[in-house]
Every structure is written in structure tokens, then in C-alpha cells.
Amino acid sequence: MSERRARPASKNSMKSAWRRALTPPRPPQPPAPAAPERAAVPDSCEVASVVEAALYQDGVRVASPATLADTYRELRDQPSGMAWIGLARPTESELLSLAAEFDLHPLAVEDAMEAHQRPKLERYGDTLFVVLRAARYLDAPEEVDFGELHVFVGPDFVITVRHGAAPDLSAVRRRMEETPELLKLGPEAVLYAILDTVVDGYLPVVTGVQNDIDEIETEVFRGDPEVSRRIYELSREMVEFQRATRPLVGMLHGLMAGFAKYDTDEELQRYLRDVADHVTHTSERVDGFRQALTEILTVNATLVTQQQNAEMRALAEAGFEQNEEIKKISSWAAILFAPTLVGTIYGMNFEHMPELHWTFGYPFAIALMGVVCTSLYVIFKRRDWL
């Protein structure tokens, strides 16, 4: 703490360079009015973005500043204290104020401003910058909601920047304050508690997704037409879940590799190993979910194809039966048309019509009708139309 307050000239110049790099260019202004304007912007925003700020001494809260400026002042008055600042969607001016006070690296501050980062762990001198993707399962819409959390960990401070509803860091703070023997281990203990909370938050998501997959399997074999869309949406959520969990495995192993170098407390080492085991287990479950959804989608496509083939076969059989019926109807229509034609011709009653006054005219007409009908019947029968 004292080292951070008494900065050499080179660090002050570096801090000024970072501030110039992060601050957008402004038109020249007189020095006198510029100071109150810069001071007014953070004060107006701190109330909205600072969720909670506290100062701790030996694991016990000793102050609860209302603004960032108060936090800075309290931390200067407590050389051996630790500041824990929680922000939710902070403004650019707040992040610039934190960067100037705690010498945060401009690249890390830029990531915290833009959000939408992949999980990662980067070390800038004595400051650790961690990006986490938290997740929670929403029961009503049966969806997975993802949040983003950025954590700055320094020698005497922890800064959390939350983008999204998850995770609930107030519960982490309460749990740590209830165990001062863990909190007095310093900022690393807070980081590991946050990691543990984020990882523990994956368990309800895994349970909810497992239930969704079980329901999808039932819907697939039930022939639900909407199941394909649900499989696709859940597959996309699992892709996001993989992006949240997979990098954590390497991040935690990287932290464990630095135990000896940074003289990490043995209790925290055990704590971190437990978190790493949970992350590995969760990552394996998520990989299994993606594989299962891929197989379910293949099975569903096969079942849909089989159903379509069965429907096409049924349509073909119905068309064939319809054709057979049409053949029969057409055959009988042709057979009945023959006597109708003969009877119509002889029923025209012309005066000079051949065979009209012939003695065998009527028998001849009847015989002609019979011969034609019999011939047509034999022909259609041989062609299997009747």
C-alpha cells in the first residue's frame, strides 16, 4: 500500500501517458473551469454505477464509502487496508478515474469499457485482470442467460465490473465478510471467492440443460414438429456455454502454476484446486451436452426423413388405388357406352334408314350391343383393368 502511494517519477509519467491514451481528445479549454467539470462528471455517475465500495482491515469492514473519491481517500488513510469496489456497467469517466488511481493498464481498461470479451487472465505488473462469463438458468423461458464480469486484482484493491445480471456479487461479499479469516488473506482470496461463485453458478445451468435434453429426447420420438428449433437454440446456448467454461480450465491452471512464484497461501491453493476440479467437470459435461444434441439432431433428421418417406409411400399407395378405381370406372363406362351408341343410332327415327324395317333389325341391334360389350369386357379383363 505504501509502495503504491509513493510512486517514482517514471510511474507518474507512465500513468499520465495511460490517461492521455484512454481519454478521448478534447478541444482546448482554460485550466480553471476544466477542473470542476471533470470532477462533476464522475460524482454524477458514481451513484448510478457504484454498487458497493468497502474498505477492509484484517478481514473486517472498516469503512463503506459512498463514492469513488471517498474510497480513494479512505484507502490512503488506511495504508494496510484493502478496497473492494463493485461496479455495474460503469461509465467511461469512472473507469478512467480508477485507471488513474490504481495504475490500471490501458488495454485492460479498454476491455472493461467495451465488454463482450472472451474469458481470459492477464497480468500487468502487480495487477491481475480477469474476464469471466457467468451463467444462470431461466426456468420460465427455459433459456440460459450469460453475464460478463471483469475483475482487477492488485496488491490492496479488488475492482469488479459487471456487465449483466449474473453473478450476484453481493452474496460473495456477504460470505467473505462472514469469514474474516479468509478475507484477511487479501485480494487473491476475493478473486478465488468470485471464481468459486461463478463456477458454482454453472451447476444449476447444467441441471436445467440436462432436463431440457431429456425433454427433447421425448419430443423427438413423439414427433413434435417444433423440436428441431428447440434443439438448434439449445445447441447455440451450449456453444456459448463452452466459450464460458473452456478457457477457465487453462486460466485456473495458470494461476496454480504461479503458486510458488507469487507465494500463494496454502489455504487459497486448496481453494483454487477445488474450483479447478469443478470447472473441469463442468466443461466435460458441456462437451457431452453438445455431442448429445448433435446426435439427437441426427436422430431427429432420420425420424423426420422416415416419416416423410412413409407419408410419400402412403400417398403413392393412395394414388395407385385411385388409379385402379379410375381404370375400373373407365372400363365400365366404355362398356356401357357401346350399347348406348348403338341404341342412339337406331333411335334417330329417320325415314330412309337401313335396317329400320328389317325383320331381324331388333335382334341384330341387341346382338351387336352384346358383342361389343363382351369384346370390351374381355379386352379390359386381359389388361387387368377389371
Determine the pLDDT at residue 285. 93
Determine the pLDDT at residue 105. 92
**pTM score, two decimals?**
0.68
Determine the pLDDT at residue 2. 36
Judge whether 65 and 71 are in contact, CB under 8 Å.
yes
Query: CA-CA distances (angstroms) from residue 200 to 158, 166, 287?
Result: 21, 12, 18
Determine the pLDDT at residue 34. 38
Determine the pLDDT at residue 61. 92
Determine the pLDDT at residue 104. 92
Determine the pLDDT at residue 20. 39
Q: Tell me the CB-side half-sphere exposure of residue 183, using CA atoms within 13 A.
A: 24
Q: What is the mean pLDDT of each run of 10 residues along the chain (386 residues)?
A: 39 38 42 38 47 90 90 88 90 91 92 86 91 90 89 93 82 90 89 91 93 90 84 91 90 80 77 89 92 90 84 86 84 85 79 76 85 87 82
